[in-house]
Amino acid sequence: MTRSAFTIEPGRFPDGRLAFPHAHLTGIGHLERHEILFLMASAERWVELNRRGEKREELLAGRTIINAFFENSTRTLLSFEIAGKRLGADVVNMAASTSSLKKGETLIDTAITLNAMRPDAIVIRHASSGATQLIADKVDCPVLNAGDGSHEHPTQALLDALALREALRQRSEAAPEDFTGMTITICGDILHSRVARSNVLCMQAMGASVRLCAPPALMPAGIEAMGVETFADFNAALDGADVVMMLRLQSERMAGQFIPSAREYHHLYGLTRARLSYAAPDALVMHPGPMNRGVEIDSEVADMIDRSIITQQVEMGVAIRMACLDVLTRQRRGVEGWA
């Protein structure tokens, strides 16, 4: 099924900047449902473009985007770089290993330095929760959060929502634009996962019920306050679920022994074909990556053509980041209705 989505239907969202009035994208928690839907609708244009032979538009020609990644990344950095270049921007990547923070410079001084270079947008990834907001408060251009500590990863949640909606539309042209009535189970290292937090907020805003499943040592205390159901039994958490999202064990954030062994973790919390049978018969499988095959997910499940949408998540990542860069720079570009 193909759809043309190069324009958003009049009246679907508030006019102009009212559709997305925020100067930055530092998290999902402060976004309204219609703002999330607006970013997703905006991304549909870029999904179509990215599937063409010619994938570049000059929307951000002459603009400069800095990807300041103080924490190592592959897919997120590459996705943002491709997104910026396909919009015609000049993209500069600043890696953690070359950052002046290694020389003792404070994060605030780094923000002031970046701001003095007059970029048109800054994408930040940092190991400390709240670092992105700190930088956003010090610069004059839009800031996009590419992951801050264990806090949030908003574009990951947005791309996950977009990939899920696209998959549902592939199954039925009558699929709704939100996830009302659906049950989504997220399993893995919830304690250290910014992806889990952003997805809880995003999927709930889209109408879904969210279950979280993890070993007790990897379940944050008080997480129920977010309106989720929590489980230590993976089979119970899967019961009737429409979507299963697996998370990797973030060993780089773990200080101490959180699980007995990877083998035992897989026995209790690994998604196998047999375990997937506890979910709804047509349940979709997701994973934000990178995957640890044979630990949190078996290859035969990750590669299920009719159930796994993991590669679609990667594809939607470029489109949603193009949409975010477009929308957040509209005021600077003097787009009508965004001044």
Q: Which residues contact 323 (CB under 8 A, 6 or more apart)?
A: 39, 40, 42, 43, 45, 46
Please give the pLDDT value at position 5: 36
3-state secondary structure of 37: helix
Give me the helix-helix angle, 33-50 and 194-205, nearest 10°.
110
What is the pLDDT, as a whole number, of residue 252? Answer: 55
Q: What are the pLDDT digits (tens) for 17-26? A: 999 999 999 9
Residue 50 CA: distances (Å) to CA of 68, 71, 318, 319 = 24, 27, 8, 7
Whether the CB-CB separation of 190 and 247 falls below 8 Å is answered with yes
What structural domains does the chain harbor? 16-153+315-333 (3.40.50.1370), 180-308 (3.40.50.1370)
Average pLDDT over residues 35-53: 95
Find, among 162, 126, 153, 151, the residue nearest to 40 by Cα.
162
The per-residue pLDDT for range 209-267, each reduced to its tens digit, is 999 999 999 999 999 999 999 999 999 999 999 999 999 986 555 444 567 688 899 99
Please check the confidence at residue 89 and state whether its pLDDT lies above 80: yes
Q: What are phi and psi of 313, to 5 degrees?
A: -60, -45
Read off the pTM.
0.94
Strand runs labelled E in 87-232 = 90-94, 121-126, 143-148, 183-187, 209-213, 229-231
